Amino acid sequence: MEKFKVTFYPDNKTVEVERDRTILSAALSAGVYINSACGGDGVCGRCKVILKKGKVITQHSASISLQDKEKNIYLACLTEIQSDAEIEVPAESKLDLEKLSEEEIDKRLGGFYAKAEEVELVEPDFEKKVFTPFPLAQKLYLQLPRPNLDDRMSDLERIYCQILKNKNIKVSHTNLVNMRLLGEMLRSSDWKVTATLGNKSGIYELLEVEPGDTSERNFGLVFDIGTTTVSGQLVDLNRNKVLGTKATYNKQAGFGSDVITRIIYAQKQEGLEKLHNAVIESMNEIVHELTEEHKIDLNDVTSVLCAGNTTMIHLLLRIDPSNIRKEPYVPTANFIPVIRAYEAGIKINPRGILYCASGVSSYVGGDVTAGVLSLGLDKKEDLSILIDIGTNGEIVLGSREFLIATSASAGPAFEGSGVSCGMRSASGAIQKVKISRKDFNVSYETIGKAKPRGICGSGYIDIIAQMLDAQVMDKDGKIKAVSNKRIRQNDTGKEFVIAFKEEADATTDIVITEADIDNIKRAKAAIYSATLILVRHLSIDLEEVKNIFIAGGFGTSLDIESSVRIGLLPDIERSKFKFVGNSSLAGARQMLLSCDQIKRSEETARKMTYFELSVEPGYMDEYVAALFFPHTDLARFPSIRTKSIKI
């Protein structure tokens, strides 16, 4: 078959592809990650590339303007290669899949948990209720009595017996490989061996036997598998200590930015395999780096605990997720049995085990259960709310008496997707903004103090709050028609310039459009109204709620005042808000360290009721009422009203 050589710049990566391959697919093969929020369906218009050389066939797209055409700009997903070619991928079309900096990781995982070098075995509700450490996989050093004519117990039962004697643990299973190695190993190691025990829902299995004493080296990994970011921690299971933390973008982002797009992508040929391989590659990268950095032998990593939303867990295990998006939205499994990590493709000790935190439903996954666990919502006397802001926002309300959860499709705007200059909170993202009330001048702060490349979620929240305060914009999200170099008309409405291209690392000015503002308005309305509906459904007064935990990688760079100002968070006593960073990762760690916590998490998942917003009669009204900054009913935002009056 005819093959064409395609080179991508600025990466200078070349790949050979056959005729009619799309540029997007060729880029993936070359290891160049192009933005593709819609999963390659030609809808989102985020995969613009510049053809420097070569012939292509393209399809019509509303995203490509006449000017674009003049500049040889094409949508990578709709354009097929017809000759050798050279293609430029502009910065704004590139997906940053390189590793995050330590600072960014801190931001994403921050809060009081992830930074701690020593993880105290306490409930994160500050009550310091210690739980029993009893890891998912533990190592026991055994000095076995040598057999003699009066004690001829078989090798395997000798090990079982000693474990029972030392630890009062009854082991009843092992695998054939162990049995095949046992005879020689026990005798050559003078009956001194280390047994690795795995806990499979309360059943103990002898996973491995090693000669000598290796019990000092027992490590585990916890993962929070987010739609956008995969975060991992290496834990010393003997010392209940976090050795290191890494995060990387979920490589699935190349196949679509939200779970729905990915579920659709999974239905394409080899789509499921590609999505599975992408997340496994992201995880194995973290495994590799953490173990290299801390000089840990992969064979000493015996267990992995993953928290993720239901779709992510299905993709991790290469289980078809299609029914998650088809009514009545039933996943294959919410409770995943313990399996071997290598069965999923995670490269640790080949006999090491993997447990995935139990989920509640298709849209409330194990990441939420883990969050609830780490925050102790299931044990608190007081009413609490957990708001986990991501592409899907999940909200849990409850106490030790009950737990109810819902999920609101906020859309990817808060993660920088589907908005004109949005980007993920990576280097160069504008995250904090001040707008002068006098001349609408803008000062901003970017992640990594780099030249601005776009705006991340928390940046948008800040911008909108500032535009409200500076009265650049009205409560409906319409930009005022005043003469200012930053305010101008585009094809569909007005836009406000945050950074001119001269000061930015971008080919065009970084702006916020009325369409973007509308997008954010719908996202914040979804989260706010879902929270309110949940509270109202249970006939609870918001004042009765004692804590509002805000979780998500997004959470740490979120400005609380701005969030209340735009009506994302309710206007209540600020001391009730607690940033908890990545509460899912913290919960996963608790489970890895203590099988009691796994049991508790399963009970929690069973206990949690899923509340379906779409069938709730009042939800639409509440949502529509929230399509205002901060809200149609200003009485609900007394502090904003006061502020507005003051102005």
- Catalog residues that contact a second copy under the rule CB under 8 A: 147-149, 151-158, 172-176, 179-180, 182-184, 187, 200-201, 203, 317-320, 322-323, 327-337, 339, 343-344, 361-362, 610, 612, 615
| Nearer residue to a second copy within complex by CB, 179 or 624 | 179
Tell me the closest approach of the beta carbon of residue 366 to a second copy, in angstroms.
Answer: 12
User: End-to-end distance of the chain based on CA atoms, in angstroms?
Assistant: 70
Q: How far apart are CA 429 and CA 451, in angstroms?
A: 8
Rounded to whole angstroms, the Cα distance separating 195 from 186 reads 11
CA distances from 451 to 446, 502, 505, 542 (A): 7, 10, 6, 42
- The C-alpha angle 539, 543, 547, rounded to 5 degrees, equals 105
Measure the CA–CA gap between 158 and 629, rounded to whole angstroms.
70
Residues 482 and 153: their CA atoms lie apart, in Å, by 91
Name residues whose C-beta falls within 8 Å of residue 18's C-beta, 6 or more positions apart in sequence: 1, 2, 3, 4
Compute the least distance from the CB of residue 498 to a second copy, in Å: 43
User: To the nearest whole angstrom, how small is the minimum distance from the Cβ of residue 281 to a second copy?
Assistant: 19
- CB distance 373 to 307 below 8 Å: no
Residue 127 or 612 with smaller CB distance to a second copy? 612
Q: Which residue, 148 or 539, is less far from a second copy as judged by CB?
A: 148
Cis peptide before 90 (omega within 30 of 0): no
With respect to a second copy, which residue has the nearer C-beta, 179 or 482?
179
Q: Which is nearer to a second copy, 162 or 245 (CB)?
A: 162
**Rg value, the chain, Cα:** 27
Looking at beta carbons only, is 310 or 590 nearer to a second copy?
310
Q: How far is the CB of 202 from a second copy (least distance, A)?
A: 9
Q: How far is the CB of 408 from a second copy (least distance, A)?
A: 17
b/e map 205-238, b = 16+ CB within 10 Å: bbbbbbeeebbebbbbbbbbbbbbbbbbbbbbbe
> Cα–Cα–Cα angle for 423, 428, 433, nearest 5°?
85
Q: Which is nearer to a second copy, 116 or 330 (CB)?
A: 330
- Closer residue to a second copy (CB): 181 or 634: 181
- Residue 327: burial class (beta carbons within 10 Å; 0-12, 13-18, 19+): exposed
In this complex, which beta carbon is closest to a second copy, that of residue 83 or of residue 154?
Answer: 154
User: Could you give the CA distance from residue 5 to residue 15 in angstroms, rounded to a whole number?
Assistant: 6
Q: Which is nearer to a second copy, 67 or 328 (CB)?
A: 328
Alpha helices in 470-559 (DSSP H): 514-537
Least distance (Å) from a second copy to the CB of residue 209? 11
CB of 169 to a second copy, least distance (A): 15
Virtual torsion, Cα 472, 477, 478, 482, nearest 10 deg = 0
Q: For the CB of residue 277, give the shortest distance to a second copy in the complex, in Å.
A: 15
Tell me the closest approach of the beta carbon of residue 329 to a second copy, in angstroms.
Answer: 6
Minimum distance from CB of 214 to a second copy (Å)? 21
Tell the smallest beta-carbon distance from residue 154 to a second copy (Å). 5
CB-nearer residue toward a second copy: 367 or 462? 367
Structure tokens at 44: 């989102």
- b/e map 431-464, b = 16+ CB within 10 Å: bbbebeeeebebebebbeeeebbbbbbbbbbbbb
**Residue 175 Cβ vs a second copy, minimum distance, rounded to whole Å:** 7
Cβ proximity to a second copy: between 63 and 323 the closer is 323
Half-sphere exposure of 548 (CA within 13 A, CB side): 25
Give all strands of the β-sheet with 392-398 in edge-to-edge order. 577-581, 545-551, 383-388, 392-398, 403-409, 609-610
